[in-house]
Amino acid sequence: MFKKILIANRGEIACRVIKTARRMGIATVAVYSEADRDARHVEMADEAVCVGPPPSKESYLAIDKIIAACKETGAEAVHPGYGFLSENPEFSRRLEENGIIFIGPKHTSMSAMGDKIASKKLAIEAKVNTIPGHNAAIDTPERAVEIARGIGYPVMIKASAGGGGKGLRIAFNDKEAHEGFAACKTEAQNAFGDDRIFVEKFVEEPRHIEIQLIGDAHGNMVYLWERECSLQRRHQKVVEEAPSSFIDPATRRAMGEQAVALAKAVNYQSAGTVEFVVGKDKSFYFLEMNTRLQVEHPVTELITGVDLVELMIRVAAGKKLPFTQDQVRLDGWAMECRINAEDPFRGFLPSTGRLVKYLPPPEVHGVRVDTGVYEGGEISMFYDSMIAKLIVHAATRDQAITRMRDALNQFVIRGVSSNIAFQAALMQNPRFLSGDFDTGLIAEQYPKGFNAADVPHDDPAMLVVVAAAIHRQYLARNASISGQMPGHEFVPGADFVVLLGADKYQVTVVEAEGGWDVAFGGENFELRSNWQFGNPLYVGTLNSQPICMQIERCGLVYRLFHWGVQADMQVMSARTAELKMLMPVKAAPDMSKFLLSPMPGLLTQIAVTAGQEVKAGEILAKIEAMKMENVLKAERDCVVEKLLAKPGESLAVDQVIIAFK
C-alpha cells in the first residue's frame, strides 16, 4: 500500500479523499493555488504545496507543477478527484512516465472513453444501446444544421470532450442549431482545449440514470447499482438518489451488464460511471462514460456500504476487489443535494464572498455532509460554486425525502447566497415526491426561475406563531433594560398584528413556562423553545410537535425559512399597522438605460462600441464566473452611449457596464 499520496484537486473532493487516506494510514499532500492558501483541504492534509496563481490553467491544471510537487514531497500516487485533470489521459500518461501511480483508470482506457465520438463507436462494438446521431466531428454551423435536419429535431449539440453541462445545447430548430454549435465550440475550447462538436438525437421526456462501476487489474468488474440524476437545471445535476424509483430489477440488470461489457472492452481498472439516457418506455441508450469518481458517489456508498475512494486506492495499488457482483448489497435509499453558492431568487446567478455563517446539520441519524469550506472562509470566483453536498440515508424513499427536508431546514449559510431554499422546495414538489419526473422537471415547473412566493407553506400558522413569539421575546428583553425612569417603565403588550405579504393576522402572545402561548384565528398554540438571540436556528415544539426553522432579523422584518419557503414578516401593534397602510411606497429607480452586471465575475468581452445601434437579442457582453460563461443580451432596441467597464475587469454585482441613450 502507498505511504503517501498527493490530491490534485481542491475543495470538497480533496477533503473527502484526505479523510479516507487518513483512515487507511496514508499520508496526504495537498496542492493549492494562491487563492486557496487558507482553504480547508490545505489545513487537513499532512503537507501542502502551492502550485501557482488563482486561474486553474496556471495552478490546478498545470501538469508540470503537480508532477514537481509529487517529486518534492515523495508522493507515490496521485488521486485526481473530479474535474480539473481527473479525465486527462495526458496527465495520467505523464505520471506513469515519471514513476507515479495515477489513482484512476489507465490513460488508454481514459482516452477511449473520454472522447464521446470514439466512446460511442466502442459502445456500438460492445453491443451497448446507443442514441441515433452523427458520430464524427462537425466543422461548421451550416453542416450542424444539415445533420440536425437529417436526424430530426430536437437534437443535442455536444462537445466531444464536454462534461458537467459545458459544451452542450439542445436545439429544436435551425436557428438554435446554428447558434448552439457556435456556443458549444467556444465553451468547449475554453473549458477543455478541444472544440470538436457532434450531434445526436435528443430523447424526449428523458431520465438521466447512471451505473457505478469498479474494476481491478485482475479482470474483476462489478456494477454498484444505479443513480437517478434526472433532477437537473441547465444540464447540471441538482439532486441525485440511489436507487432509482423508475428502474425495475430487469432493466437494472440489463443496464449494469451493458455497462460492465463496455468497461471490459477498454480494460477498465478503477471507479467509473456509465451514463444512460432512459426513455419513458424504459428504453435506455449509452450517453457517455465518466472515467473518474463522480460528485454524487456518496449515495452509492450509503446504499452499498463501500468506500469508493478506498477501493480506488486499493485497485491502484494492485489489490483485488474484495467482493463479487452477487455480494453487492442494496440497502435502503440515499439522496444528495448539491448546496451551491448561487442565488435562486436572481436566476441562480453565482454568489461569491465570505461565509459569514456556516452551520451544517449534525451528521447523525443518516445525515452526511461532504464539504471543503469553513465559517469565515472565502467562496472564490475562480472555481465552481459548490459549498457542500448534503447526503441522507433512510430505509425508504419517502423517509429519505423527509430526512433531507429536515436537514435542509437546519443548514445555515450566511454571507453568500445559496440554493438551499430551492432544494427544500424540490423536496416538496408533487412530481418529485411521486417519482414521476424527467430531466425537464425544473424547467417546466419553474419556467420563470424560482421565487419563494411560488412555494405555498403547508402550515402558515406555524410561521405566524413563531414570528409573533420572537417579536414578543425581543420586547421582553427591552423591558428588562436597567435604568428606566420609575413609573415609566416599558411594558410589552400582548396583542399584535402579524403582516405576511398581503395577509394580516391578529395575535395575542402570553409568556408561559418554557416558551409562549399564542392565540389567533380562534385557536391556541403552545410554542416551547429555549431559543436565544442571535441563534439562526429556532428549534422547539409547537403543540408538542417538533419544529425547526431558520430565522434572521433584517431591520423591522423577521425572515423565516422553512420547507423551502422564505417568509418576510413584520410584527407590530394594531395602530402601527394601521399607519403603515398610509405610508407611500418608494418607487424603484429607473435602471433601464444601463446594463448592470447580474453577478460578480470577470468581464471577458464587450461586443458593442459607443454610438452603436443595437437590436433586441444582440449580444452586449460576456461575463465569466465559476467556470461558466454568461452572455448578456439586449432586451430591446437601443443605442450605446458609453462603455463604463473594460474587458479583463472584475465586476461586482449590479456594477454598470454600459449606458444607453
List pLDDT tens digits, range 576-609: 999 998 989 888 888 889 999 988 888 999 999 9
pLDDT digits (tens, 9 = 90+) for 45-77: 999 999 999 999 999 999 999 999 999 999 999
Kindly state the average pLDDT of the residues 274-303: 94
Question: Cα–Cα distances in Å, from 559 out to 322, 335, 551?
Answer: 51, 28, 6
Kindly state the average pLDDT of the residues 454-480: 90
DSSP-assigned beta bridge partners for residue 546: 541
List the one residue out of 122, 118, 129, 178 whose CA is nearest residue 153.
178
| Residue 16 in this model has a pLDDT that exceeds 80 | yes
Tell me, what's the pLDDT at 452?
67
pLDDT digits (tens, 9 = 90+) for 544-563: 999 999 999 998 999 999 88
| Residue 454 in this model has a pLDDT that exceeds 70 | no
Percentage of residues in the chain having pLDDT higher than 90: 78
Is pLDDT larger for residue 600 or for residue 247? 247
Kindly state the average pLDDT of the residues 148-167: 85
Tell me, what's the pLDDT at 11?
96
Tell me, what's the pLDDT at 558?
96
pLDDT digits (tens, 9 = 90+) for 564-581: 788 899 999 999 999 998
Specify burial of residue 616 (Cβ count, 10 A radius: 0-12, 13-18, 19+): exposed
Interatomic CA distance for residues 287 and 103, integer angstroms: 24
| Residue 135 in this model has a pLDDT that exceeds 80 | no
Q: Which CATH number fits domain 107-130+208-331: 3.40.1020.10, 3.50.50.60, 3.10.20.90, 3.30.470.20?
A: 3.30.470.20
Interatomic CA distance for residues 158 and 178, integer angstroms: 13
Tell me, what's the pLDDT at 653?
85
288 is catalytic: yes
Q: Give the predicted TM-score (pTM) of the model.
A: 0.84
| Residue 117 in this model has a pLDDT that exceeds 80 | no
| Residue 343 in this model has a pLDDT that exceeds 80 | yes
Interatomic CA distance for residues 248 and 255, integer angstroms: 11
Tell me, what's the pLDDT at 149?
93
| Residue 301 in this model has a pLDDT that exceeds 70 | yes
558 and 551 in contact (C-beta within 8 Å)? yes
Q: Which fold has domain 4-103?
A: Rossmann fold (3.40.50)
- Maximal CA-CA distance, the chain: 92
| Residue 145 in this model has a pLDDT that exceeds 80 | yes
Amino acid at 368: R
Lowest mean pLDDT among 183-187, 249-253, 266-270, 505-509: 183-187
- Which helix (H) or strand (E) segment holds residue 51: the answer is none
Tell me, what's the pLDDT at 594?
93
List the one residue out of 197, 120, 212 whose CA is nearest residue 161.
197
Specify burial of residue 588 (Cβ count, 10 A radius: 0-12, 13-18, 19+): exposed
Q: Which fold has domain 132-201?
A: Dna Ligase; domain 1 (3.30.1490)
Angle CA 157–161–164, to nearest 5: 75
Lowest mean pLDDT among 218-222, 498-502, 516-520: 498-502
Q: How many CA atoms lie within 13 A of 387 on its CB side?
A: 33
Tell me, what's the pLDDT at 365?
92
| Residue 464 in this model has a pLDDT that exceeds 70 | yes
List the one residue out of 180, 239, 70, 372 whose CA is nearest residue 85.
70
Percentage of residues in the chain having pLDDT higher than 70: 99
Tell me, what's the pLDDT at 333?
98
Tell me, what's the pLDDT at 398?
97
Sheet holding 133-138, edge to edge: 133-138, 197-201, 155-163, 166-171
Tell me, what's the pLDDT at 107?
95
| Residue 340 in this model has a pLDDT that exceeds 80 | yes
Amino acid at 275: E
Specify burial of residue 3 (Cβ count, 10 A radius: 0-12, 13-18, 19+): exposed
Q: Which of 176, 187, 210, 288 is catalytic?
A: 288
List the one residue out of 81, 317, 91 whose CA is nearest residue 216.
317
Q: For 363-388, give the DSSP string.
A: S-TTEEEEES--TT-EE-TTS--EEE
pLDDT digits (tens, 9 = 90+) for 186-212: 888 887 888 899 898 888 889 999 999
- Which helix (H) or strand (E) segment holds residue 231: the answer is strand 221-233
Cα distance between the two ends of the chain: 68
- Going from N- to C-terminal start, the domains of the chain cover 4-103, 107-130+208-331, 132-201, 332-436, 460-480+490-580, 594-660
Amino acid at 139: D
- Which helix (H) or strand (E) segment holds residue 550: the answer is strand 545-554
Q: Is the dihedral of CA 549, 553, 558, 564 positive or negative?
A: negative
Q: For 408-443, give the DSSP string.
A: HHH-EEESS--SHHHHHHHTT-HHHHHT---TTHHH
111 and 41 in contact (C-beta within 8 Å)? no
**Topology match between the domains 107-130+208-331 and 332-436:** yes
Confidence of residue 526 (pLDDT cuts 50, 70, 90): very high
| Residue 162 in this model has a pLDDT that exceeds 80 | no
Residue with cell 501538469: 63
Q: Which CATH number fits domain 332-436: 3.40.50.150, 3.30.390.50, 3.30.470.20, 1.10.1740.10?
A: 3.30.470.20
CA 465 from centroid of its chain's CA atoms: 33
Q: How many CA atoms lie within 13 A of 456 on its CB side?
A: 2
DSSP-assigned beta bridge partners for residue 550: 537, 561
User: 484 is written with which cell numbers?
Assistant: 428606566
User: Considering the chain, what is the average pLDDT of its residues?
Assistant: 93
Tell me, what's the pLDDT at 453?
63
Report whether the peptide linkage leading into residue 598 is cis, meaning its omega lies within 30 degrees of zero.
no
Tell me, what's the pLDDT at 190?
82
| Residue 164 in this model has a pLDDT that exceeds 80 | no
Report whether the peptide linkage leading into residue 430 is cis, meaning its omega lies within 30 degrees of zero.
no
What is the total residue count of the chain? 661
User: 232 is written with which cell numbers?
Assistant: 437537473
CATH architecture of the domain formed by 460-480+490-580: 2-Layer Sandwich (3.30)
Lowest mean pLDDT among 101-115, 608-622, 624-638: 624-638
Tell me, what's the pLDDT at 627?
67
Q: Which CATH class is domain 594-660?
A: mainly beta
- Contacting residues for 125 by C-beta, under 8 A, at least 6 apart: 265
Lowest mean pLDDT among 152-166, 352-366, 419-433, 628-642: 152-166
Among left, alpha and beta (phi > 0; psi -120 to 50; other), residue 453 is alpha
User: 356 is written with which cell numbers?
Assistant: 459569514
